[in-house]
Structure 1
Amino acid sequence: MATARTAAPRASAGGGSKRLMGWLGIAGLIILIDQLSKIMVDRTFAYGERVAVLPFFDFTLLYNRGAAFSFLAGGAGWQRWFFTVIGLGASALIIWLLLRHGHQRMFSWAITLILGGALGNVIDRLIHGHVVDFLLFYYDKWYFPAFNIADSAITVGAVLMIVDEIRRVRKGS
Protein backbone atom coordinates (compact mmCIF):
# COMPACT_ATOMS: atom_id res chain seq x y z
CA MET A 1 0.00 0.00 0.00
CA ALA A 2 1.43 3.35 -1.05
CA THR A 3 1.28 6.25 1.35
CA ALA A 4 0.81 9.84 0.33
CA ARG A 5 3.83 12.04 0.85
CA THR A 6 3.66 15.74 1.31
CA ALA A 7 6.17 17.64 -0.69
CA ALA A 8 6.93 21.24 -1.39
CA PRO A 9 4.65 22.59 -4.10
CA ARG A 10 6.26 22.12 -7.46
CA ALA A 11 5.32 24.10 -10.52
CA SER A 12 4.53 22.22 -13.66
CA ALA A 13 7.54 21.63 -15.85
CA GLY A 14 6.42 24.30 -18.31
CA GLY A 15 5.46 26.84 -15.61
CA GLY A 16 8.76 26.63 -13.74
CA SER A 17 10.91 26.91 -16.85
CA LYS A 18 8.70 29.68 -18.26
CA ARG A 19 9.05 31.62 -15.02
CA LEU A 20 12.83 30.99 -15.03
CA MET A 21 13.07 32.34 -18.57
CA GLY A 22 11.31 35.53 -17.44
CA TRP A 23 13.77 36.06 -14.59
CA LEU A 24 16.72 35.29 -16.90
CA GLY A 25 15.32 37.81 -19.39
CA ILE A 26 15.35 40.49 -16.69
CA ALA A 27 18.93 39.55 -15.75
CA GLY A 28 19.84 39.74 -19.45
CA LEU A 29 18.37 43.24 -19.66
CA ILE A 30 20.46 44.32 -16.65
CA ILE A 31 23.57 42.88 -18.32
CA LEU A 32 22.75 44.67 -21.58
CA ILE A 33 22.23 48.07 -19.88
CA ASP A 34 25.39 47.55 -17.80
CA GLN A 35 27.56 46.59 -20.76
CA LEU A 36 26.24 49.33 -23.05
CA SER A 37 26.83 51.97 -20.38
CA LYS A 38 30.38 50.71 -19.81
CA ILE A 39 31.13 50.66 -23.55
CA MET A 40 29.81 54.21 -23.91
CA VAL A 41 31.87 55.55 -21.00
CA ASP A 42 35.00 53.59 -22.00
CA ARG A 43 34.83 55.02 -25.54
CA THR A 44 33.94 58.56 -24.47
CA PHE A 45 36.24 59.21 -21.50
CA ALA A 46 39.98 59.03 -21.00
CA TYR A 47 41.03 56.99 -17.98
CA GLY A 48 40.56 59.11 -14.83
CA GLU A 49 38.67 61.87 -16.67
CA ARG A 50 35.81 63.36 -14.64
CA VAL A 51 32.74 65.22 -15.79
CA ALA A 52 30.68 66.94 -13.10
CA VAL A 53 26.98 66.16 -13.28
CA LEU A 54 25.80 67.37 -9.88
CA PRO A 55 27.68 69.04 -6.98
CA PHE A 56 28.07 65.57 -5.41
CA PHE A 57 28.19 63.30 -8.49
CA ASP A 58 30.58 62.89 -11.45
CA PHE A 59 30.97 60.54 -14.36
CA THR A 60 34.52 59.25 -14.36
CA LEU A 61 36.30 56.33 -15.99
CA LEU A 62 38.12 54.05 -13.57
CA TYR A 63 39.15 50.40 -13.68
CA ASN A 64 38.87 48.04 -10.74
CA ARG A 65 40.99 44.88 -10.83
CA GLY A 66 39.56 43.76 -7.48
CA ALA A 67 36.09 43.36 -6.04
CA ALA A 68 33.87 45.76 -4.11
CA PHE A 69 35.76 48.77 -2.75
CA SER A 70 38.82 47.58 -4.75
CA PHE A 71 39.26 44.59 -2.43
CA LEU A 72 42.37 42.67 -3.62
CA ALA A 73 42.87 45.12 -6.50
CA GLY A 74 46.62 45.09 -5.83
CA GLY A 75 46.94 41.37 -6.53
CA ALA A 76 49.25 40.07 -9.23
CA GLY A 77 46.37 39.13 -11.57
CA TRP A 78 45.13 35.96 -9.91
CA GLN A 79 42.16 37.91 -8.48
CA ARG A 80 40.71 38.28 -11.99
CA TRP A 81 40.16 34.54 -12.20
CA PHE A 82 39.25 34.18 -8.53
CA PHE A 83 36.40 36.72 -8.80
CA THR A 84 35.34 35.31 -12.18
CA VAL A 85 34.95 31.83 -10.67
CA ILE A 86 33.07 33.24 -7.67
CA GLY A 87 30.76 35.21 -9.99
CA LEU A 88 30.07 32.16 -12.17
CA GLY A 89 29.51 29.92 -9.14
CA ALA A 90 27.12 32.44 -7.57
CA SER A 91 25.30 32.72 -10.90
CA ALA A 92 24.82 28.95 -11.10
CA LEU A 93 23.45 28.91 -7.55
CA ILE A 94 21.11 31.82 -8.33
CA ILE A 95 19.74 30.09 -11.43
CA TRP A 96 19.06 26.98 -9.35
CA LEU A 97 17.32 29.13 -6.71
CA LEU A 98 15.22 30.84 -9.39
CA LEU A 99 14.17 27.46 -10.74
CA ARG A 100 13.08 26.31 -7.28
CA HIS A 101 11.72 29.60 -5.88
CA GLY A 102 10.80 31.65 -8.95
CA HIS A 103 7.26 32.04 -7.61
CA GLN A 104 8.53 34.10 -4.65
CA ARG A 105 8.46 37.51 -6.29
CA MET A 106 10.58 39.71 -4.01
CA PHE A 107 13.18 37.00 -3.44
CA SER A 108 13.35 36.33 -7.17
CA TRP A 109 13.68 40.04 -7.98
CA ALA A 110 16.49 40.27 -5.44
CA ILE A 111 18.52 37.38 -6.79
CA THR A 112 17.78 38.31 -10.42
CA LEU A 113 19.29 41.75 -9.84
CA ILE A 114 22.30 40.12 -8.19
CA LEU A 115 22.61 37.67 -11.10
CA GLY A 116 22.53 40.41 -13.73
CA GLY A 117 25.08 42.48 -11.82
CA ALA A 118 27.39 39.57 -11.12
CA LEU A 119 27.44 38.48 -14.76
CA GLY A 120 27.91 42.07 -15.94
CA ASN A 121 31.09 42.29 -13.89
CA VAL A 122 32.21 38.77 -14.89
CA ILE A 123 31.97 39.83 -18.54
CA ASP A 124 34.25 42.81 -17.79
CA ARG A 125 36.79 40.59 -16.07
CA LEU A 126 36.82 38.11 -18.94
CA ILE A 127 37.08 40.76 -21.68
CA HIS A 128 39.20 43.47 -20.03
CA GLY A 129 40.82 41.88 -16.99
CA HIS A 130 39.16 44.55 -14.83
CA VAL A 131 35.72 46.01 -14.10
CA VAL A 132 34.80 49.34 -15.69
CA ASP A 133 33.48 51.82 -13.09
CA PHE A 134 32.13 55.28 -13.85
CA LEU A 135 29.66 56.50 -11.21
CA LEU A 136 31.37 58.63 -8.56
CA PHE A 137 29.58 60.13 -5.55
CA TYR A 138 31.41 62.46 -3.17
CA TYR A 139 31.01 65.20 -0.61
CA ASP A 140 33.75 67.74 0.00
CA LYS A 141 36.90 65.55 0.37
CA TRP A 142 35.01 62.28 1.00
CA TYR A 143 34.59 59.94 -1.98
CA PHE A 144 32.53 56.79 -2.24
CA PRO A 145 34.39 54.26 -4.43
CA ALA A 146 33.36 54.52 -8.09
CA PHE A 147 30.89 51.87 -9.24
CA ASN A 148 28.71 50.90 -12.21
CA ILE A 149 25.22 49.68 -13.17
CA ALA A 150 26.11 46.06 -12.30
CA ASP A 151 27.23 47.10 -8.81
CA SER A 152 24.01 49.10 -8.41
CA ALA A 153 21.91 46.06 -9.37
CA ILE A 154 23.82 43.89 -6.88
CA THR A 155 23.28 46.46 -4.12
CA VAL A 156 19.56 46.87 -4.79
CA GLY A 157 19.24 43.07 -4.97
CA ALA A 158 20.98 42.68 -1.60
CA VAL A 159 18.68 45.29 -0.01
CA LEU A 160 15.61 43.53 -1.45
CA MET A 161 16.87 40.22 -0.11
CA ILE A 162 17.20 41.69 3.39
CA VAL A 163 13.73 43.24 3.17
CA ASP A 164 12.30 39.94 1.93
CA GLU A 165 13.90 38.06 4.82
CA ILE A 166 12.65 40.57 7.40
CA ARG A 167 9.13 40.27 5.97
CA ARG A 168 9.37 36.47 5.99
CA VAL A 169 10.54 36.38 9.62
CA ARG A 170 7.80 38.81 10.71
CA LYS A 171 5.13 36.66 9.02
CA GLY A 172 6.46 33.63 10.90
CA SER A 173 6.17 35.22 14.35
Structure 2
Amino acid sequence: MLFTIISIAAMVGLDQFTKYWATAALAPDRTAPFLPGIMELRYVLNDGAAFSVFSGKAWGQWFLIAVTSAALLAVLYILFFQRARLDRLGYAALLLIEAGGIGNLIDRVLHGYVVDFFATTFVEFAVFNVADCFVSVGVVLLAVYYIRSESAAKKARQKAQGEQAPGSGDGQ
Protein backbone atom coordinates (compact mmCIF):
# COMPACT_ATOMS: atom_id res chain seq x y z
CA MET A 1 0.00 0.00 0.00
CA LEU A 2 2.83 2.39 0.85
CA PHE A 3 4.51 1.68 -2.49
CA THR A 4 1.24 2.50 -4.26
CA ILE A 5 0.90 5.83 -2.48
CA ILE A 6 4.54 6.79 -3.04
CA SER A 7 4.40 5.80 -6.72
CA ILE A 8 1.25 7.81 -7.38
CA ALA A 9 2.61 10.80 -5.46
CA ALA A 10 5.90 10.73 -7.38
CA MET A 11 4.15 10.62 -10.75
CA VAL A 12 1.70 13.37 -9.77
CA GLY A 13 4.67 15.42 -8.53
CA LEU A 14 6.48 14.98 -11.85
CA ASP A 15 3.35 16.00 -13.75
CA GLN A 16 2.78 19.09 -11.61
CA PHE A 17 6.45 20.09 -11.81
CA THR A 18 6.44 19.90 -15.62
CA LYS A 19 3.26 21.95 -15.81
CA TYR A 20 4.78 24.55 -13.47
CA TRP A 21 7.92 24.62 -15.63
CA ALA A 22 5.89 24.97 -18.84
CA THR A 23 3.94 27.85 -17.34
CA ALA A 24 7.11 29.63 -16.17
CA ALA A 25 9.14 29.00 -19.32
CA LEU A 26 6.58 29.05 -22.14
CA ALA A 27 3.59 31.15 -21.08
CA PRO A 28 1.88 32.97 -22.64
CA ASP A 29 2.80 32.07 -26.22
CA ARG A 30 6.40 30.86 -26.51
CA THR A 31 7.45 27.62 -28.16
CA ALA A 32 10.71 25.72 -27.83
CA PRO A 33 12.16 22.87 -29.85
CA PHE A 34 12.08 19.51 -28.10
CA LEU A 35 12.59 16.71 -30.64
CA PRO A 36 13.27 18.53 -33.95
CA GLY A 37 10.90 17.44 -36.69
CA ILE A 38 8.81 15.44 -34.21
CA MET A 39 7.78 17.57 -31.25
CA GLU A 40 7.99 21.04 -29.81
CA LEU A 41 7.04 22.54 -26.47
CA ARG A 42 4.04 24.87 -26.77
CA TYR A 43 2.03 26.32 -23.86
CA VAL A 44 -1.70 25.65 -24.21
CA LEU A 45 -4.50 25.94 -21.67
CA ASN A 46 -7.13 23.25 -22.19
CA ASP A 47 -10.47 23.71 -20.44
CA GLY A 48 -11.86 20.59 -22.13
CA ALA A 49 -11.07 16.90 -22.06
CA ALA A 50 -8.95 14.93 -24.52
CA PHE A 51 -8.85 16.63 -27.93
CA SER A 52 -10.60 19.63 -26.27
CA VAL A 53 -13.94 17.82 -25.96
CA PHE A 54 -16.30 20.01 -23.85
CA SER A 55 -13.96 22.98 -24.35
CA GLY A 56 -15.63 26.30 -23.67
CA LYS A 57 -18.67 24.72 -22.01
CA ALA A 58 -19.39 26.13 -18.55
CA TRP A 59 -20.86 22.82 -17.38
CA GLY A 60 -17.96 20.89 -18.95
CA GLN A 61 -15.53 21.46 -16.09
CA TRP A 62 -17.97 20.22 -13.47
CA PHE A 63 -18.86 17.23 -15.59
CA LEU A 64 -15.19 16.35 -16.14
CA ILE A 65 -14.40 16.80 -12.44
CA ALA A 66 -17.30 14.54 -11.42
CA VAL A 67 -16.57 11.79 -13.97
CA THR A 68 -12.82 11.88 -13.31
CA SER A 69 -13.35 11.76 -9.55
CA ALA A 70 -15.67 8.76 -9.80
CA ALA A 71 -13.24 6.91 -12.07
CA LEU A 72 -10.28 7.70 -9.81
CA LEU A 73 -12.16 6.42 -6.75
CA ALA A 74 -12.95 3.18 -8.60
CA VAL A 75 -9.30 2.73 -9.59
CA LEU A 76 -8.14 3.47 -6.03
CA TYR A 77 -10.56 0.86 -4.72
CA ILE A 78 -9.08 -1.74 -7.06
CA LEU A 79 -5.50 -0.73 -6.21
CA PHE A 80 -6.07 -0.91 -2.47
CA PHE A 81 -8.71 -3.62 -2.03
CA GLN A 82 -8.45 -5.82 -5.12
CA ARG A 83 -4.67 -5.72 -5.59
CA ALA A 84 -4.33 -9.50 -5.28
CA ARG A 85 -6.37 -9.95 -8.47
CA LEU A 86 -3.87 -7.95 -10.54
CA ASP A 87 -0.57 -9.04 -11.97
CA ARG A 88 2.28 -6.54 -12.33
CA LEU A 89 1.07 -5.32 -15.71
CA GLY A 90 -2.47 -4.61 -14.49
CA TYR A 91 -1.12 -2.95 -11.36
CA ALA A 92 1.26 -0.73 -13.34
CA ALA A 93 -1.52 0.20 -15.76
CA LEU A 94 -3.82 1.31 -12.95
CA LEU A 95 -1.02 3.22 -11.20
CA LEU A 96 -0.37 5.21 -14.38
CA ILE A 97 -4.06 5.89 -14.97
CA GLU A 98 -4.56 6.98 -11.35
CA ALA A 99 -1.54 9.30 -11.30
CA GLY A 100 -2.40 10.90 -14.64
CA GLY A 101 -6.03 11.35 -13.64
CA ILE A 102 -5.07 12.98 -10.36
CA GLY A 103 -2.55 15.26 -12.07
CA ASN A 104 -5.13 16.64 -14.48
CA LEU A 105 -7.86 16.72 -11.84
CA ILE A 106 -5.68 18.97 -9.66
CA ASP A 107 -5.41 21.46 -12.52
CA ARG A 108 -9.14 21.37 -13.25
CA VAL A 109 -10.11 21.93 -9.64
CA LEU A 110 -7.51 24.63 -8.90
CA HIS A 111 -7.46 26.50 -12.22
CA GLY A 112 -10.41 25.42 -14.34
CA TYR A 113 -8.07 24.21 -17.08
CA VAL A 114 -5.20 21.83 -17.72
CA VAL A 115 -1.76 22.98 -18.87
CA ASP A 116 -0.64 21.14 -22.01
CA PHE A 117 2.74 21.62 -23.65
CA PHE A 118 3.85 18.67 -25.82
CA ALA A 119 2.95 19.45 -29.44
CA THR A 120 3.72 17.11 -32.31
CA THR A 121 5.12 18.79 -35.42
CA PHE A 122 5.15 15.86 -37.85
CA VAL A 123 1.38 15.35 -37.67
CA GLU A 124 -1.60 17.44 -36.53
CA PHE A 125 -2.46 16.15 -33.08
CA ALA A 126 -3.73 17.46 -29.75
CA VAL A 127 -1.26 19.17 -27.44
CA PHE A 128 -0.78 17.07 -24.31
CA ASN A 129 1.10 16.81 -21.00
CA VAL A 130 2.82 14.26 -18.76
CA ALA A 131 -0.45 13.26 -17.05
CA ASP A 132 -1.98 12.56 -20.46
CA CYS A 133 1.03 10.35 -21.26
CA PHE A 134 0.52 8.43 -18.02
CA VAL A 135 -3.17 7.87 -18.75
CA SER A 136 -2.57 6.91 -22.39
CA VAL A 137 0.20 4.43 -21.60
CA GLY A 138 -1.87 3.09 -18.69
CA VAL A 139 -4.88 2.49 -20.92
CA VAL A 140 -2.77 0.65 -23.51
CA LEU A 141 -1.19 -1.50 -20.77
CA LEU A 142 -4.65 -2.17 -19.32
CA ALA A 143 -5.87 -3.34 -22.72
CA VAL A 144 -2.87 -5.67 -23.04
CA TYR A 145 -3.51 -6.91 -19.50
CA TYR A 146 -7.16 -7.57 -20.28
CA ILE A 147 -6.42 -9.37 -23.56
CA ARG A 148 -3.74 -11.46 -21.90
CA SER A 149 -6.00 -12.29 -18.95
CA GLU A 150 -8.88 -13.29 -21.24
CA SER A 151 -6.57 -15.47 -23.30
CA ALA A 152 -5.29 -17.24 -20.18
CA ALA A 153 -8.85 -17.72 -18.88
CA LYS A 154 -9.94 -19.18 -22.23
CA LYS A 155 -7.05 -21.65 -22.19
CA ALA A 156 -7.92 -22.64 -18.61
CA ARG A 157 -11.57 -23.22 -19.60
CA GLN A 158 -10.53 -25.31 -22.60
CA LYS A 159 -8.19 -27.36 -20.44
CA ALA A 160 -10.90 -27.90 -17.82
CA GLN A 161 -13.38 -28.98 -20.50
CA GLY A 162 -10.82 -31.41 -21.92
CA GLU A 163 -10.32 -32.97 -18.49
CA GLN A 164 -14.08 -33.45 -18.03
CA ALA A 165 -14.57 -35.37 -21.28
CA PRO A 166 -17.11 -38.23 -21.18
CA GLY A 167 -15.80 -41.36 -19.50
CA SER A 168 -12.97 -39.48 -17.80
CA GLY A 169 -13.61 -40.88 -14.34
CA ASP A 170 -16.99 -39.43 -13.46
CA GLY A 171 -17.88 -42.60 -11.53
CA GLN A 172 -20.41 -44.04 -13.99
TM-score category, normalised to shorter length: 0.7 to 0.9
Distance (Å, rounded) in 2 between the aligned partners of 1:48 and 1:169: 47
Superimposed CA distance per residue, residues 79-111 of structure 1 (whole angstroms, 9 cap, x where no aligned partner): 112111111111111111112332322111111
Partner residue in 2 for 1:143: 124
What CA RMSD, in Å, does the superposition of the two structures yield over aligned residues? 1.2
The structure with more radius of gyration: 2
Structure 1 segments, 4+ long, off by >4 Å, are: none
Aligned length: 151
| Percent of aligned pairs with the same amino acid | 29
Structure-1 separation of matches of 2:5 and 2:50: 24
- Of stretches 145-154 and 23-32 in structure 1, the one that deviates more from structure 2 is 23-32
Deviation of the 1:134 alpha carbon: 0.3
Partner of 1:133: 116
Q: Which runs of 5+ in 2 are unaligned?
A: 155-172
Structure 1 gap segments, 5+ residues each: 1-19
Deviations 1:118-142 (A, max 9, x none): 0100100111110000001122xx3
Is 1:124–2:133 an aligned residue pair?
Answer: no
> Aligned AA for 1:106?
L
Question: 1:88, 1:127 → 2: CA distance?
Answer: 14
Letter in 2 for 1:129: G
User: Taking structure 2 as the reference length, what is the TM-score of the superposition?
Assistant: 0.83
Question: 2: CA distance between counterparts of 1:119 and 1:93?
Answer: 13
TM-score, normalisation: structure 1: 0.83
